[in-house]
């Protein structure tokens, strides 16, 4: 009997996850299929009930369901609860359990790219779900200090307060993304992570956002990464490259969070090269 895996989102037709996971199943000769389901927010409880009834083995959860799905599961792992988002559902017997592979996936992607995380000083742009996963993942990987920067200083402060215990012993600080202190924060950074939606599309607004950042203040050794992977070369990465800085695109996080989900579902080592090739092969067709 074919094992069925799913991704729930709205919209979801753009997702690259089906190509990545189905390629992995084929590579390991597993009788399994990964299917995208467009689930309206109002239908999420019914979708989770359907997952239980139909015996769907595992699922990914993407926007806008990552937070709301938590209340529908039997168990949520501590880091996912701290982040406030589940992106992977797996089974323990009859129970549906939630985890978040974004945090560890980002840390793995950066390490793979040669970025030294232990003892680093990191600047995170944004205070939403992606930023929360970033803070948890990099704190777990040994970052020494993480500064959260957001347009609304109260949002950055709230993220700092809510994750201080989870991130310990990493020091968490916060500042205003538009504040005069941002250049000073950048000047001490080893790594800058763009975790807002500002670069999701190639536009004048995205270019303006990139120009507003004090990239000139970064040390020459600093690395800049953007969690957005469509476009792959975002306005921020382009501006950082023009400054002569090392950059890391967002495709690695997508790959590694998917590999971690695959391993949780199947208890098999994810075929990373196959999954990467599937993502790159679909880069022109899928965002």
Domain 3-100+252-281 CATH assignment equals 3.40.50.10860: yes
pLDDT of residue 24: 98
Stronger pLDDT, 179 or 208, i.e. the higher one: 208
Q: If you average pLDDT over residues 95-118, what whole number do you get?
A: 96
pLDDT of residue 284: 40
CA angle 211, 125, 183 (to 5 degrees): 55
pLDDT of residue 202: 81
pLDDT of residue 282: 58
Q: pLDDT-based confidence at 285, cuts 50/70/90?
A: very low
Q: Is the pLDDT of residue 87 over 50?
A: yes
pLDDT of residue 242: 97
pTM over 0.85: yes
> Any idea where the domains of the chain sit in the sequence?
3-100+252-281, 104-249
Question: Rounded distance, CA 194 to CA 131, Å?
Answer: 8
Cα–Cα distance list, 161 to 126, 157, 188 (Å): 15, 6, 22
Q: Are 215 and 243 in contact (CB under 8 A)?
A: yes
pLDDT digits (tens, 9 = 90+) for 122-165: 999 999 999 999 999 999 999 999 999 999 889 999 999 999 99
Give the active site residue among 66, 144, 160, 230: 66
pLDDT digits (tens, 9 = 90+) for 225-267: 999 988 899 999 999 999 999 999 999 999 999 999 999 999 9
Q: Is the pLDDT of residue 286 over 90?
A: no
Q: pLDDT-based confidence at 201, cuts 50/70/90?
A: confident
Same fold, 3-100+252-281 and 104-249: yes
- In CATH terms, 104-249 corresponds, of 3.40.1280.10, 3.40.50.300, 3.20.20.80, 3.40.50.720, to 3.40.50.720
What integer best gives the mean pLDDT of the chain? 94
Is 66 an active-site residue?
yes
């Amino acid at each position: 009997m074919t094992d069925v895996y799913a991704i729930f989102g709205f919209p979801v037709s753009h997702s690259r996850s089906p190509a990545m996971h189905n390629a992995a199943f084929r590579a390991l000769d597993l009788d399994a299929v990964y299917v995208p389901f467009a689930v309206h927010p109002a239908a999420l409880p019914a979708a989770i009930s359907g997952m239980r009834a139909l015996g769907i083995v595992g699922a990914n959860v993407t926007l806008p369901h990552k937070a709301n799905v938590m209340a529908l599961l039997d168990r949520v792992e501590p880091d996912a609860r701290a982040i406030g988002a589940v992106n992977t559902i797996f089974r323990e017997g009859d129970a549906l359990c939630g985890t978040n592979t974004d945090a560890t996936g980002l840390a793995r992607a950066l390490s793979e790219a040669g970025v030294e995380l232990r003892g680093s000083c990191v600047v995170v742009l944004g205070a939403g779900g992606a930023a929360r996963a970033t803070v948890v993942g990099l704190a777990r990987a040994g970052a020494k200090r993480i500064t959260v920067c957001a347009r609304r200083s109260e949002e950055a402060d709230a993220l700092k307060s809510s994750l201080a215990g989870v991130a310990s012993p990493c020091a968490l600080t916060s500042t205003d993304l538009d504040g005069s202190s941002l250049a000073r924060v950048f000047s001490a950074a080893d790594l800058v992570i763009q975790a807002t939606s500002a670069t999701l599309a190639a536009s004048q607004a995205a270019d303006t956002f990139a120009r507003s950042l004090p990239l000139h203040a970064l040390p020459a050794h600093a690395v800049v990464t953007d969690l957005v992977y469509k476009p792959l070369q975002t306005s921020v990465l382009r501006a950082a490259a023009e400054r002569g800085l090392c950059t890391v695109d967002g495709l690695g996080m997508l790959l590694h969070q998917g590999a971690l989900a695959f391993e949780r579902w199947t208890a098999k080592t994810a075929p990373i090269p196959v999954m990467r090739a599937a993502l790159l092969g679909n880069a022109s067709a899928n965002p």
